[in-house]
Structure 1
Amino acid sequence: MRIGLTGGIGCGKSTAGKCFADLGWRRLDSDEVVRELLATDAELHAKLRERWGDEAVLPECGANRSFIAHKVFHDKGELAWWENQVIPKVRARWQGALAAEPDADWLVEVPLLFERDLAGQFDATICVEAPESTQLARLAAKGLDREQSLARINNQLPVLDKARRADLVLSNAGSFDFLLRQVRRASEMLRSQSPIS
């Protein structure tokens, strides 16, 4: 089974994904793939230098993530260029993983699942949602100020729109135990192939 997991930034996709992994699902986190590409992908580094200059890549640790974030979250044209460089590489990575183990229960975290019209790649989709105030608090805990956080939130489809498009919705506005109970129920439903309503 192939499940696509999405949600807004700061809604807790990774937390939910780890819960699914603890229940035996094979988890692939697109954000982790991006971090790996930023650190190691020489082709991507060359494109970044060509587009934005040497400051875009740091000799000791690969792509300059804070520099790139400043570029793309304040300019929709640069964001579109960036996504067109990275998303095909990420998609190829998870498609290859799924093809290599087609009988496994896969959970793939895809932040832009609906924005990039990827729902058809999966047997079902799940959206993790939380109020914007919760998103902002979680992003602040990661060191982002309100302006930086809103720039990221506003460059994605609104969480409520994602929730409306998803087959299942998990609420992550409460405790971890509340989220875990929802994940367990969703996992049971999906593995039993119960109708999703």
Structure 2
Amino acid sequence: MSKLVIGVTGGIGSGKTAVTDYFSSLGITVVDADQASRVVVEPGRPALVKIAERHGPDILTDEDTLDRRKLRDIVFNNDSERVWLEQLLHPLIRDQIVQELEASSSPYTIMVSPLLVETDQHVLTNRILVVDVPEEVQLERTMSRDGMSKEQTQSIMAKQASRNQRLEKADEVVDNSRSLDHLFQQLDRIHQTYLGLANT
């Protein structure tokens, strides 16, 4: 396992994927909490069985996979269902993340999570890199990318940490409101910093 773990976070639509894809292209292992959350509800996994027991077979697709949109609609409108789901999934997601971190052999490891500062996932990291954009940019990008309404997007943003809360936790910040070239220039410098830290 790399001894240096960098937590990458940012609000919805901030461009975390562009950041982690770039680190990956430099040979750095990326552990994705969103991907881990999909793994723990794959067919045959205990979590999917429990979700289907609670919400009935309609929560599954024809291929017996989780219908994520239906589940999102349920928890979007019901706080008690959201809490139940979080209590089921968060420990499983954490275990999956830890396994993937331990398997990493790159000089340092990136762990990306939209809820890094809202959950205890940040304790798995040594430093936090925040991908920062103005909130109006988040709104525009998310609505055009995911086809969500303004209200849905704002509701998701309201459940995440505020921009200021994330920035207060940051060890490093990248501005992703401009071009990809501008983003990559910042990431090149940060990569060198992390390599230096990994070698100390």
- What pairs with 1:80-91 in structure 2 (closer than 5 Å)? 80-91=83-94
Q: Which of 155, 158, 179 is the equivalent residue of 2:183? A: 179
Residues 193 and 42 from structure 1, CA distance in 2 versus in 1: closer, same or farther, beyond 3 angstroms? closer
Which runs of no fewer than 5 residues in structure 2 stay unpaired? none
For 1:10, give the aligned amino acid: G
How far 1:51 sits from its partner (Å)?
2.0
CA-CA distance at 1:176 after TM superposition:
1.1
Note the C-alpha offset of 1:62: 0.7
Q: TM-score, normalised by structure 1?
A: 0.89
**How many equivalent pairs are there?**
194
TM-score (structure 2 length as normaliser): 0.88
> Aligned pair 1:10/2:13, yes or no?
yes
TM-superposed CA distance for 1:164, in Å, is: 1.1
Percent of matched pairs sharing the same residue: 28
Shift of 1:61: 4.9
Q: Deviations over 1:126-176 (max 9, x none)?
A: 111111211111111221111221121111111221111111111111111
Aligned residue for 2:164? 160
Answering whether residue 152 of structure 2 is matched by residue 148 of structure 1, we say yes
Give the deviation of 1:19 after TM superposition: 1.0
Give a deviation string over 1:175-196, Cα, whole Å, max 9, x none: 11111111111111121129xx
Q: Is the 8 A contact 1:26 1:107 kept in 2?
A: yes
> What CA distance in whole angstroms lies between the structure 1 residues aligned with 2:69 and 2:30?
27
Q: Using the alignment, how far apart are the partners of 1:172 and 1:86 within structure 2?
A: 30
Q: Match of 1:62, SS?
A: coil
Correspondence for 1:169 among 173, 195, 198: 173
- What are structure 1's unaligned runs of at least 5 residues? none
Worse overlay, 13-22 or 101-110: 101-110
* Distance (whole Å) between structure 2 residues aligned to residue 16 and residue 52 of structure 1: 36
Q: Distance in 2 between matches of 1:103 and 1:176?
A: 24
Question: Aligned ranges for residues 48-127 of structure 1 at < 5 Å?
Answer: 48-101=51-104, 104-127=107-130
Task: Identify if the C-alpha distance between structure 1 residues 156 and 108 changes in structure 2 by more than 3 Å, giving closer, same or farther.
Answer: same
Structure 2 CA distance for aligned equivalents of residues 98 and 148 of structure 1: 33
3-state secondary structure, aligned to 1:4: strand
- 2:101 is matched by which residue type in structure 1? L
Q: Do the aligned partners of 2:42 and 2:66 also contact (CA within 8 Å) in 1?
A: yes
Equivalent residues of 1:124, 1:167 under 8 A apart? yes
- RMSD over aligned Cα atoms: 1.9
